[in-house]
């Protein structure tokens, strides 16, 4: 709108921009259920993007969420908003010569990260391959529903796949609302209150690592983990996308705990550390072992390194 147009008229004309603003506001008002008089519904509706909130606004949001979750799950919640540690870039190592496909990691992840039990959500898919057959070039051929009496099965090997925490994440590029982004410590996170559930990110992810809440997430009260992070394992909503965050609620601390999947692995196949620390385990294995990254040719630059210790 040029300056001239405005100054010529005594009354402010109804500009195109103002008209659209008004339309959007009234549409929004209609969209909010009128029979819910709870102020928190309004507050949630006008909540800002996580990266744009001031400290005070963030505290307000956390207070509201802790109250809402507390009422829903009948337990007191702690939602952290801790920021990335300085000089930290998280990397992950998985020893394919050790993994036995026992799926302990899958369910330790579920226990830690409050995934919906029904409809079921798992962040980790353990793929089973026949030895001597095509594998990394053709993941579709893998079996993820294997369930023998004991593992490892003769003549088979296993490759767990989860979010690869790409340095160049295609999922982030396609998000129309910027509800997902890469944090300074390299973790790709989702703001569940900003996600509109379009699932573009799921289509863009070459690793099938993102999960969608098709229904209202259901978790038994006794199994809720109330120690959460806003960008991590706080309970989700119907219609939002979620994914592995390297257990952001655990690893962002000093001392910072290992992710749940690392701690549970009975064969010690999972390694985790700071890529910027030359003395870390992850640097040792990258420098001394045979390492590869999944679908490296796509230039996603994963920070998830598969390796062979023997």
Partner 1 sequence: MRKVDKFLIPLCLGTGIFILAAGSVARGDDIPQYFVPPPPFSEGIFPCSDCHADMEANPERRELEDEHVEISGMFNHASEQRWCLDCHNEDDRDKLRLANGDLVSFEESYNLCGQCHGTIFRDWKAGIHGKRTGAWNGKKQYRLCVHCHNPHSPKFKPIKPLPPPDNPLEIQYKKLSDEDIPRNPLGNIQ
Smaller CB separation from partner 1, 68 or 125:
125
Q: What are phi and psi of 38, to 5 degrees?
A: -60, 130
Q: How far is the CB of 110 from partner 1 (least distance, A)?
A: 6
Smaller CB separation from partner 1, 40 or 288:
288
CB atoms within 10 A of CB 172: 18
CB atoms within 10 A of CB 76: 10
Q: 144, 156, 182, 293: which one contacts partner 1 (CB under 8 A)?
A: 144
Q: How far is the CB of 202 from partner 1 (least distance, A)?
A: 13
Q: Verify cis geometry, omega within 30 degrees of 0, for the bond prior to 119.
A: yes
Place of tokens 């294997």: 146
**Structure token digits, residue 57:** 């606004």
Residue 125 engages partner 1 in binding (rule: CB under 8 A): yes
For residues 210 and 121, give the distance between their C-alpha atoms in angstroms, rounded to a whole number.
10
- Cα radius of gyration (the chain): 23
Residues 242-271, interacting with partner 1 (CB under 8 A): 251, 253-258, 262-268, 271
Smaller CB separation from partner 1, 15 or 218:
218
For residues 306 and 271, give the distance between their C-alpha atoms in angstroms, rounded to a whole number.
10
Q: Which stretch binds partner 1 (CB under 8 A): 20-28, 59-67, 109-117, 160-168?
A: 109-117
Residues 275-294, interacting with partner 1 (CB under 8 A): 280-281, 284-285, 288-289
Residue among 104, 115, 79 at smallest CA distance from 210: 115
The residues binding partner 1 (CB under 8 A) are: 85, 93, 95, 100-104, 106-108, 110-111, 117-120, 122, 125, 144-152, 214-216, 218-221, 223, 251, 253-258, 262-268, 271-274, 280-281, 284-285, 288-289, 309
């Amino acid at each position: 709108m040029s300056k001239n147009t405005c100054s010529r008229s005594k009354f402010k004309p109804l500009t195109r921009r103002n008209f659209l603003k008004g339309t959007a506001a009234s549409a929004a008002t209609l969209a909010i259920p009128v029979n819910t008089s709870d102020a928190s519904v309004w507050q949630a509706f006008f909540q800002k993007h996580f990266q744009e909130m001031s400290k005070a606004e963030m505290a307000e949001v956390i207070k509201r969420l802790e109250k809402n979750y507390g009422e829903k799950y009948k337990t007191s919640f702690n939602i952290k908003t801790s920021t990335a540690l300085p000089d930290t870039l998280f990397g992950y190592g998985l020893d394919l010569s050790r993994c036995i496909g026992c799926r302990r990691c899958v369910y330790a992840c579920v226990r830690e990260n409050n995934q919906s039990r029904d409809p079921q959500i798992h962040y980790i898919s353990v793929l089973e391959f026949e030895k001597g057959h095509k594998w990394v070039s053709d993941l579709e051929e893998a079996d993820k529903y294997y369930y023998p009496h004991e593992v490892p099965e003769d003549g088979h090997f296993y490759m767990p796949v989860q979010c690869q925490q790409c340095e160049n994440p295609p999922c982030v590029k396609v998000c129309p609302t910027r509800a997902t982004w890469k944090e300074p410590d390299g973790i790709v996170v989702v703001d569940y209150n900003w996600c509109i559930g379009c699932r573009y990110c799921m289509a863009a992810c070459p690793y099938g690592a993102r999960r969608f809440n098709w229904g209202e997430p259901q978790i038994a009260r006794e199994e809720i983990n109330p120690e959460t992070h806003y960008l991590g394992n706080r309970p989700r909503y119907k219609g939002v996308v979620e994914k592995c965050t390297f257990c952001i609620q655990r690893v962002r601390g000093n001392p910072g705990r290992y992710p749940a999947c690392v701690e549970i692995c009975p064969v010690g196949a999972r390694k985790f550390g700071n890529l910027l620390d030359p003395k870390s385990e992850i640097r040792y294995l990258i420098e001394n072992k045979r390492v590869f990254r999944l679908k490296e040719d796509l230039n996603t630059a994963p920070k998830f390194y598969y390796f062979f210790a023997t």
